[in-house]
Amino acid sequence: MARASYLPIYNISEAFNENPALDYDLMRKNFAEWKSVQNLLTKDFYPLTAWRHACDLDHWTGFAYDDPASGESVLLAFRMEEAKETSFLFRLPFALPGRIYELRNADTGEVFSLPGEELLKKGLSVTLPEAKTSALFRITRR
């Protein structure tokens, strides 16, 4: 799950010549996605769930990065291996009342808009039917 390792720099630690089964297409896809959000990874950081020990695998984890100057944000949501709930509600503390936010699901391409008040108070419901999966939402303030 490459998204769990997104940092301001991209580190690939694979011995390319020693792994003939390496999926280069997947590596290129992951790198391209990282490049598209890397500018946000040094901006305001919001942990959206409580910190848990690495061995605690029955929960969801989520965090967001927000650039108040550009109005761009990204939400990363992770359903851990043993999480029973297929959906989780993420409240976005950077959302501004009176503003509209366009959200794009990076996996499905779905685009929709929600008011800042809803994202701030009610939150965004993220559904991942399979455990040990993730979602990435690109968010633009209008």
Question: For 13-69, what is each residue's pLDDT tens digit?
Answer: 666 667 778 888 988 899 999 999 999 999 999 999 998 888 889 999 999 999 999
| Kind of pairing between the strands at 100-105 and 133-141 | antiparallel
Say which range, 53-57, 111-115, 117-121, 132-136, has the weakest mean pLDDT.
53-57
Query: 46 in helix, strand or coil?
Result: strand
| Kind of pairing between the strands at 124-127 and 111-115 | unpaired
Q: Is the pTM of this model over 0.95?
A: no
DSSP 16: G
For residue 94, CA distances in Å to 34, 105, 110, 114 come to 22, 19, 22, 14
Please report how many Cα atoms fall inside a 13 Å half-sphere around the Cα of residue 62, on the Cβ side.
23
Q: With left for phi above 0 and alpha for psi between -120 and 50, is residue 104 left, alpha or beta?
A: beta
Q: Which domains occur in the chain, in start order?
A: 43-141 (2.60.40.1180)
